[in-house]
Structure 1
Amino acid sequence: MAISSLGTGLSGLQANQQALGVEAHNTANLTTQGYAARSANFSEARPAGTGVILSAAGRELSGAHGGTDPATSITNSLVYKLGFELSAKVIQAADERLGTLIDIRA
């Protein structure tokens, strides 16, 4: 259980980091004429219950043209930041649980 939680937390860290990268790219191109904003879409990793990934479709162009809405970009960045922090807490809890299991067996 603790080992699978580590993997799940790690996948959450990676997906949220990639999503933050997408938003950083959008923010950097706020005023770029003709820039098509990208969107980050999460999907469940396979097998089910083992984590989350940023879907390939989410890394493609979202179809929105004419730049990025700053309010949307900031909101998304805050959501991805909180998702990253939550994933880090999952890893921390799994690490503590794993340490407790090792102590019990010793």
Structure 2
Amino acid sequence: MTGLQANVNALGVQAHNTANMNTDHFVPQSASFNEARPAGTGVTLSIAARDLSAADRVGGAPSGTDPAASFASSLTNSLMYKAGFDLSAKLIQAADERLGTLIDIRA
């Protein structure tokens, strides 16, 4: 379940970054997955503003950054988080089947 939550939150970060990428003085956020404590109990997500100094920024984007490249990077990250969500859902389904129960995803 923590994998599902972390990937949903990461998708939210990417959606926020994509929606605001052309906003003046916008500082994009980055999502970082961390192992929950104690080890093996799940995953957590920490969200932080990307480290971009004001001197390196022009308008709303870092200087020298191609907007098309930023969009491509954001799209790639979104696809990666979606795949992580799908994998986490399959793990839950496999665990439930192993225990002899079924997930009724239509309910």
TM range (shorter): 0.7 to 0.9
Task: Return 5+ residue gaps in structure 1 as ranges.
Answer: 1-9, 101-106
TM-score, normalized by length of structure 1? 0.78
Q: Is the 8 A contact 1:26 1:38 kept in 2?
A: yes
Q: Which stretches of structure 1, 4 residues or more, deviate above 3 A after TM superposition?
A: 64-68
Distance in 2 of aligned mates of 1:47 and 1:98: 24
Distance in 2 of aligned mates of 1:62 and 1:14: 22
1:89 maps to 2:90: yes
Candidates 26, 36, 48, aligned match of 1:60? 48
Flag the structure with more relative contact order, 1 or 2, with Cα contacts below 8 A and sequence separation at least 6: 1
Structure in which a larger fraction of residues adopt helix: 1
Q: Is the 8 A contact 1:22 1:38 kept in 2?
A: yes
TM-score, normalized by length of structure 2? 0.77
Give the match for residue 5 of structure 1.
none
Give the match for residue 105 of structure 2.
none
Give the match for residue 103 of structure 1.
none
Amino acid at match of 1:73: S
- The residue matched to 1:60 in structure 2 has which SS? strand
> In the TM superposition, what whole-angstrom CA distance separates every residue of 1:48-98 from its partner, at most 9, and x where no partner exists?
01111102xxx1211245347101100000000000000000000001011
Give the match for residue 40 of structure 1.
31
Task: Return 5+ residue gaps in structure 2 as ranges.
Answer: 62-66, 102-107
Aligned-pair Cα RMSD in Å: 1.5
1:73 maps to 2:74: yes
